[in-house]
A and B are shown apart, each in its own frame.
Chain A
């Protein structure tokens, strides 16, 4: 059973999701994997895995590297598998070990008035789109939402977010292009909705000035509301390679990331970098983006993700 929005948002009395809705995520992942020409499956399913055979291990290593899991996390997974006695069900064992790396299922901390979410990431990962979809889901689950457009740098970023705000029935707080993003964030968190989501400009984690600016946005939010932002989501593109680790590391240092939103999983990229991020930095994945539609944002389910990564 995939993880539901109710579980992610900590709503115990949320209506159960239909099977269609639930299957949506897993089904999509499977589907996209099916499209991928060299899915992990092919690497693993060929004959039975033979723990005594180096070629078998090699195929497995390549499969994980190919999924962008990275050298270190791959080495760790291989080590754990080698330590296991019984490897008849390799797919299942691998899925278990990957899920174990992710740890306990994460929740979004919304128990505040308002709950403030700060969304950060490098350029082009899909921050604004993710926010739009999240706002819509939150509205569906009975929350009023404000979107703050603190991306005052990219041309037309504000317009893009405003369009999403309309689609998701959220309140919108904007600034002016070239204005102070911290000022927009300050205005936005003063809004009396249940949740405030602050969008920020994409920035490479190596740009010191822009990272300083981001730290300021965070400080200003914290100064206005005690304990805020309650969630800092790092949006990571599933096509990202090993640089994703560096992104997670530096954004965490500057704004204290609480979780990852893994986007663009509807492509053939597997998003294995999320495994590396969880393994090396202990950061949970909270959301996954699987398409451009309003419904294409789902709570992250480690089991599903791991199974899709090694789909049979």
Chain B
């Protein structure tokens, strides 16, 4: 079957809510009360495109969709009032199950060797350090063996990271990676460590010479764990990479890196489907402690472009200092919401990443927002206005009279009207906070809420124009 049906070509592409699309494709199914081949096919095409957009390899997509198709024809879907959502659930569950198979932990022996391999730039060196730190925190005594003799200054990088996380790094003055591995492991053992992580040079899977070298390094290291380090942004190529590395060094599992970006990460599914090897860890940030166990359910949501509440909560937690959080809660409970609080909340939001991305993490929000584009500059203006207030004005906004409004407007490059809108917005928010303090859940501020903070049309959020020519 063709991937794109000609009449629907370009529209297939905008897909903000897979559930909506599927609902559209399957909605009338129920009325008919019987299977409609065409509707099912339409739904399957949406799933296919969703997975392709997420960089799942197309051969994997084909097999996967065939599997889902079987299940989508099941009773539950047909009986459901919302077959679209039901199908999404089937897809989501199937993705989760597939990616969740296999051992997620590491294998340990008396003296454990972990070998990391992968393409250039996938993040091996950084990941080595992150893994070492995680192991040290678990009470193990890890060491790092520098076996990347290719990239200029790679060993310096590992040494600096080692110092940072207080883990010894073993370097050997040699041009031979096997020798560096042997010597490093030997010394680590002699030093009484119980775990070593061997950081190898990045290599292309088609580079015969370097792949042979990697196999020799593996034979020398006799690792308990061989881990493929894979960039979450990898495209269709992920399959070739995984296959080739698996053939040469039969890795035990995968560490998926750069998951803190906005890549949908379909490569994770490709690699699992092609090699059967589990994804064990996810690397989620620049800092050396940003290594997590892999959550297949979250990954499934991510690949499908669905909300990810857990990630949202974690990011919010990371963005707010614990003290701040307690303080903020206390003030909110008291029904106070000054411009200082306003600024704090705003800064916290900024620390969580681009607003558009945050909003998309909220399930249902994406549908509510539709084609809305968040204008980050507008948020910047809000900050500028608040910063143009005196400390006293921020604490007790009541003192801001007409004259002060003009001054603030001039100071922040905003219009007086914009300043007025912001003042009004704060008032509304304070009201809302008071309600919350009394235990009432306020209505979400939508259209009727004042301008700068609302999800209204002219303010911080603007409607994206439909691109011309889209069918």
Contacts and interface: CB of A to CB of B under 8 A. Distances in A.
B4 interface: yes
Interface in B223-280: 231, 233-238, 240-241, 258, 260-264, 266-267
B353 interface: yes
B6 to A, nearest CB: 7
B49 A239 contact: no
Contact of B241 (A125, A209, A239): A239
A84 interface: no
Interface string A228-255: 0000000001111111101000100000
A159 B153 contact: yes
**Which among B152, B160, B205, B353 has the greatest number of chain A C-beta atoms within 10 A?**
B152
A241 B263 contact: yes
Contact of B261 (A154, A206, A238): A206
Contact of A155 (B156, B264, B267): B156
Interface residues of A, number: 62
Contacts, number: 175
Contacts of B240: 36-37, 268-269
Contacts of A49: none
B3 A241 contact: no
Nearest to B122: A124
A115 to B, nearest CB: 25
B286 A207 contact: yes
B33 to A, nearest CB: 31
B445 to A, nearest CB: 24
A199 interface: no
A75 B120 contact: no
A156 B3 contact: no
Interface stretch (B9-17, B103-111, B185-193, B335-343): B9-17
B86 to A, nearest CB: 25
A123 B156 contact: no
**Residue with the greatest number of chain A CB neighbours at <10 A, chosen from B6, B119, B120, B260:** B120
Contact of B234 (A32, A122, A153, A239): A239
B354 interface: yes
B157 interface: yes
B258 A242 contact: no
B205 A268 contact: yes
Interface in B121-165: 121-123, 150-154, 156-161, 164
Contacts of B154: 156, 160
Given A58-B1, A65-B58, A68-B235, A243 B263 contact: yes
A35 interface: yes
Given A68-B236, A241-B235, A241-B266, A58 B2 contact: yes
B351 interface: yes
B369 interface: no
A153 to B, nearest CB: 7
B451 interface: no
B235 A267 contact: no
A65 B350 contact: no
- B9, B54, B205, B357 pick with most chain A CB within 10 angstroms: B9
B204 interface: yes
Nearest to A269: B237
Contacts of A207: 260, 286, 353
A264 interface: yes
A238 B151 CA distance: 19
Interface string A68-89: 1011101110110010000000
B52 interface: yes
A35 B12 CA distance: 33
B13 A71 contact: yes
B436 to A, nearest CB: 27
Contacts of B238: 239, 241
A49 to B, nearest CB: 14
A163 interface: yes
B12 A75 contact: yes
A243 B233 contact: yes
A204 B357 CA distance: 13
Contacts of B199: none
A61 B13 CA distance: 14
A37 B4 CA distance: 25
B12 A206 contact: no
Contacts of B164: 155
A299 interface: no
Given A160-B153, A239-B237, A244-B233, A204 B58 contact: no
A75 B153 contact: no
A67 interface: yes
A268 B55 CA distance: 16
B123 A242 contact: no
A187 B256 CA distance: 37
A241 B261 contact: no
A62 interface: yes
A143 interface: no
A208 interface: yes
Contacts of A153: 286
Contacts of B261: 122, 204-206, 243
A267 B231 CA distance: 15
Nearest to A238: B237
B206 interface: yes
Considering residues A67, A266, A268, which has the most beta carbons from chain B within 10 angstroms of its beta carbon? A268
A126 interface: yes
A163 B150 CA distance: 13
Contacts of B13: 71-72, 75
12 contacts: A37-B240, A68-B237, A71-B53, A122-B233, A122-B261, A126-B120, A204-B258, A204-B262, A239-B231, A241-B266, A243-B262, A244-B233
Q: Which 6 A-B pairs have the closest CB atoms?
A: A241-B235, A124-B121, A241-B55, A155-B160, A156-B157, A156-B156
Interface of A: 32, 35-37, 54, 57-58, 61-62, 65-68, 70-72, 74-76, 78-79, 82, 122-126, 153-157, 159-160, 163-164, 177, 204-210, 237-244, 246, 250, 264, 266-269, 272-273, 292
